[in-house]
Amino acid sequence: MKIIKTVLCVVLLGFLAACNHGFEGEYTTKIGSDNEFIDGFSGLLGEKKVIIGRNYIESDGTRTEYDEIFVRKSNNGNRYLVFKNEGSEQEAWQIVDDNTLKKGNQLVSVILKKVN
């Protein structure tokens, strides 16, 4: 009986370790806009590297940890990568495709493009 419990615990831990949101990796940022004037200035800002981990985001050497990072599908069919902290504080990035995340609107938006 002890062996069965041990095996079940190992299997359960394996499943928990395999649980992830699928967007871990290194990204580059780009500021964009539908407005040509604003979009012209966005190139001056350059690119930054951002790392998304299983439960954190790291940028400029600063790591922000989250209680949970998960994918949410909205009623209109859009998918969002949601970063949740304790309580009800959440930040959502629209999933454009499997390698691109976007936050913002038509005037100004930040785009994260996966490097690896």
106 falls within a domain: yes
pLDDT band at 1 (very low <50, low <70, confident <90, very high): low
34 falls within a domain: yes
**Tokens for 23?**
């967007």
Q: Mind listing the pLDDT tens digit for each residue in 27-46?
A: 998 887 777 776 666 666 66
16 falls within a domain: no
Residue 18 has pLDDT above 90, yes or no: no
Task: Please state, for a pLDDT cut of 90, what percent of the chain lies above it.
Answer: 49
Q: Mind listing the pLDDT tens digit for each residue in 44-61?
A: 666 789 999 999 999 989
Q: How many domains does the chain have?
A: 1
Q: Which domain holds residue 30?
A: 22-114
CB-neighbour burial class of residue 23 (10 A; exposed 0-12, middle 13-18, buried 19+): buried
Q: Mind listing the pLDDT tens digit for each residue in 50-94?
A: 999 999 999 989 999 999 999 999 999 999 999 999 887 899 999
